[in-house]
Amino acid sequence: MIYRRLQTTSWVVLLLLLSLAVQAQRPSSARRQRRLQAIEADTLTDTRRGPYTVVVTAGGGLSYYSTHLGVPAAIEQTRLSRFGTPSSLRVMWYPDHRLRVGLETGWTTMYSYRGQVAGENTHVYVSAVPILVVFSMPLGWLTGTDRSIARRMAITAGTGLYVNHSRLDYLGTVMTNTNSLGWMAAASYTYPIGRRFRIAGELKWFDAVAVENAAFTAELQLVWRAFSW
């Protein structure tokens, strides 16, 4: 039930993004008037599309495991850590309209705990590798200038697979992986530092639904406009 609900949420976010994109493509009446005037003034009607750009984003930062977790009652002297150092890699296609699409992967610690059971040390470590299809759009499009905050801010949402990794150290080591569907949502601010490079700060929510693992991350990212055509 929960799983279905979160899947629905992902789709609602996706539809919201799509509707915003469509909205953005539809000029207001004043804007439409100005555009018509510009087209009339232009003796050439340019039907070419573009430019298109492939943008690679890599980043890292800090994560905080932000949902419930359970530490077995049998463990004594428990030390629990909800923090981790995530990293992410995203490849996006920036078309000549507002909605961008791409793939994201990376790695993030979910949580870990240590303790003792009858004098024996124990350690459990849980992490996840997301493999997501992501959609992104800037808050501002065809409005303001390049310096407008709205044009530098973007929201991103995605859905796909999380490969959840678990490691247990107690009377031996057990390492297992479990796949889970899930989603993510993020908001970012990008600052240009060169013709092809930008830096960005991104706040992100990862949610691996079936295993009920969710983390909030804050990342510093390097954005590389790899090539355009």
Partner 1 sequence: MKPVIYSLLGLLLVASLSCRKTYEALVPYDFTNLPGSGQFGTAVRAVTNGVYTVSNGASEFGDQVALKWTYLHNGADTSYYLSVFTGKDAAYFNLEGTSQTDSLVLGGYWRKLVNDQIGLAQLTLRVKHQGKLQLYKGQLAPGDTMVIDGLYGDKNSKLSHPITLTYNRPLNSRPFSIMAHRSGGRTSDLLPASENSVEIIKLASRLGATGIEVDVRYTKDGVPILYHDNTLNLRLIQKNGLMGPVEDYTYQQLSTFVRLINGEKIPTLEEALETVVNNTALNFVWLDTKYIGPMDKVQAIQQKYRQKALQAGRDLRIIIGLPSTEAVDSYKALANKENTPILCELDTALTRSLGARIWAPRWTLGPQTAEVQAMKAAGLTVFVWTLDEPEFIREFIGQNQFDGILSNYSPVVAFYHYTEQP
Which positions touch partner 1 (CB under 8 A)? 1-2, 5-6, 8-9, 12-13, 16, 20, 23-24, 68-75, 111-113, 117, 122, 124-126, 139-141, 150, 155, 164, 166, 168, 170-172, 174, 176-178, 185, 207, 210-212
| Rounded-to-integer distance, Cα 122 and Cα 193, Å | 46
| Rounded-to-integer distance, Cα 149 and Cα 139, Å | 9
CB of 206 to partner 1, least distance (A): 13
Choice between 24 and 223, CB closer to partner 1: 24
CB of 167 to partner 1, least distance (A): 9
CB of 213 to partner 1, least distance (A): 9
Is 105 in contact with 80 (CB distance < 8 Å)? no
Choice between 56 and 212, CB closer to partner 1: 212
Query: 123-154 in b/e burial notation, b at 16+ Cβ within 10 A?
Result: ebbbbbebebebbbbbbbbeeeeeeeeebbeb
Choice between 22 and 193, CB closer to partner 1: 22
What's the Cα-to-Cα distance from 16 to each of 86, 138, 160, rounded to whole Å? 27, 13, 18
CB of 219 to partner 1, least distance (A): 19
What number of other Cβ atoms are within 10 A of residue 174's Cβ? 11
CB of 201 to partner 1, least distance (A): 17
Choice between 91 and 155, CB closer to partner 1: 155
| Rounded-to-integer distance, Cα 74 and Cα 72, Å | 5
Choice between 70 and 194, CB closer to partner 1: 70
Q: Is the peptide bond before 51 cis (omega within 30 degrees of 0)?
A: yes
Choice between 14 and 103, CB closer to partner 1: 14
Is 164 in contact with 131 (CB distance < 8 Å)? no
The DSSP bridge partners found for residue 94 are 53
CB of 174 to partner 1, least distance (A): 5
